[in-house]
Every structure is written in C-alpha cells, then in structure tokens.
Amino acid sequence: MEEMSIEYWNALANQLIIISSLLSGFTIAVIANLLVSDRNTRLFRIIMIAAVLAASFFLITLFANTKVLIMSTNGYPFKMTEKGLVNFSLIGSISLYLGIMSLITIVVLAGWTKSKKMGIFTTLIGILTFAIILLMLNLN
C-alpha cells in the first residue's frame, strides 16, 4: 500500500467534515420533526432510534476528521504520526459507514409508515442506494 501524503489526509478530512456536518444536520432535523409528531407507534420509535444513531455516527465522523484535519495542517504543535492519522481516520470511516446505514434505514422505514406498496418501493430503493454507495466508497 502506498503511503498517503499529509496534503491528501488534510483534503480528505476536509471533505468528510463537510459531508458529515450536512448529514448530521439533516438527521437532527429529522429527529426534531419526530419529537413534535403525535405518532407513537413501534415503527416511529424505530425510525427515531435510527435517526439518533445516524446523527451520532455523523457527529463522530465530524470530530474524528476534525482531529485529522488539525493534525495534518502545517504548524501542528505536537508530534504527529501516520498511525495517529490512520486511527482517527479509521474511527471516522467506520462511523461514516454506520451513519449511512442508519440514514438509509430511515429512508426504508419511512415508506412503511404510509403503505405496504410504498414500503416495498422504499426498501428496494434503499437497498439499491446502499449498494451504489458501497461501490462509490470502495477505495481500491
């Protein structure tokens, strides 16, 4: 495996910070809407759990990549090692994957709140979306 430059770590962390901050904000808005909803069915509780998990995972990604960004910026005052960058980046990557899975779960379950047909449709779209995202995130 080829060693990644500090500039690449910095640019990658910057992009992931933007993505995860937008996605965490979106899922927090979903949580706020669910909190004011009068519905209290089992399905809505599961959607709420998925939304809280998604927001939490995206926030973990945000802060892990903020650490990578800080460590990979010129002038970082402490000793920086590639192992430290890899560890924080790994935490951020794993939580990004988990956040994406939680967000897709919200999309899939949302259709089931309306009808069986809509539930089947959103489930198929969710599976397709997840497969395409996995293909796009493949780092070969």
pLDDT in tens, 81-109: 778 888 999 999 999 999 999 999 999 99
SS (H, E, C) the chain: CCCCCHHHHHHHHHHHHHHHHHHHHHHHHHHHHHHHCCCCCHHHHHHHHHHHHHHHHHHHHHHHHHHHHHHCCCCCCCCCCHHHHHHHHHHHHHHHHHHHHHHHHHHHHHHHCCCHHHHHHHHHHHHHHHHHHHHHHCCC
33-68 pLDDT, tens digit per residue, is 999 998 889 999 999 999 999 999 999 999 999 999
